[in-house]
Amino acid sequence: MPSIEWVAPAPLWPTANGTLYEPQLVKLSGDQFLSEFLEAMQGHVPGVSPAAFLADPAHGFDPAEDGDSQGNWKLYHPAHGRFYLVTASLVCRQLGLPDRAVARADGESTAFVVRRTVRRPVVVNGVPQVVEVEQGWVEEGPERGWRDLVDAQGRPVAVRDDEERFPLHPVVTSNGAGSGNGGRRKVYYGYIAVGNREKYLERRPVAADDPAEALRQFEMAVRSSSTVEGDYDFRLDELSTRVLGPWQGIYTATNPADRLEAPFAEKLGQFSLYLILDLADWLQRNLPEVFQAITQGAALPAGSRRQALLAELQRVKVYVDGNQRSLAQAIDALADKISLVYGEGEEPGQAYNVRDARREPPAPDPAFDLRNDPGYLVYRPAPAPSLHRAFQEALAEATAPATPPPEFLPLLQDQVVEADDPEAAPEVGSCFLRLVYERPGCAAVVSRPSRRIAFARYFDPDAPARHIRIELPSIKMQDLRKYKRGVGMQMTPELRDVMNRIRKSMLDGDGLAGSPGGWELGMICSFSLQIIFLVAFIVMFIFLIALNFIFWWLPFLKICFPIPRRT
Quick: pLDDT tens for 503-533. 877 777 777 777 766 656 667 888 899 999 9
Q: What is the dihedral of CA 528, 529, 531, 536, to 10 degrees?
A: 150
Confidence of residue 264 (pLDDT cuts 50, 70, 90): confident
For position 434, what pLDDT does the model report?
A: 96
The whole-number pLDDT of residue 423 equals: 44
> 428 pLDDT band (50/70/90 cuts)?
low
Q: What angle do CA 169, 171, 174 make, to 5 degrees?
A: 170
Q: What's the confidence (pLDDT) of residue 375? A: 93
Across the chain, mean pLDDT equals 85
Residues whose CB falls within 8 Å of the CB of residue 298, separated by 6 or more in sequence, listed in order: 289, 292
pLDDT digits (tens, 9 = 90+) for 45-86: 998 999 999 999 999 998 888 888 888 999 999 999 999 999
CB atoms inside a 10 Å sphere around CB 449: 16
Cα distance between the two ends of the chain: 77
The phi and psi torsions of 139 (rounded to 5 degrees) equal -90, -40
Lowest mean pLDDT among 255-264, 294-303, 398-407: 398-407
Could you give the dihedral angle defined by the CA atoms of residues 525, 529, 534 and 540, in that order, rounded to the nearest 10 degrees? 90
Q: CA nearest 14: which of 58, 55, 62?
A: 55
pLDDT score of 421 more than 90:
no
Q: Are 261 and 251 in contact (CB under 8 A)?
A: no
Contact 198, 413 (CB under 8 A): no
Q: So what's the pLDDT on residue 544?
A: 87
d(CA 149, CA 133): 9
Residue 506 phi, psi (nearest 5): -65, -25
| pLDDT tens profile 184-209 | 899 999 999 999 988 888 665 555 56
| Confidence band for 422, pLDDT divided at 50, 70 and 90 | very low
Asked if the model's pLDDT at residue 416 lies above 70, the reply is no
- Asked whether the predicted pLDDT for residue 95 surpasses 90, the reply is no
pLDDT score for 505: 78
Q: What is the pLDDT of residues 106-135, one digit of tens each?
A: 999 999 999 999 888 888 888 888 888 999
Percent of the chain with pLDDT over 70: 84
pLDDT surpasses 70 at 175: no
pLDDT tier at 29 (50, 70, 90 boundaries)? Answer: very high
Which residue would you say has higher pLDDT here, 202 or 382?
A: 382
Burial of 187 (0-12, 13-18, 19+ CB in 10 A): buried
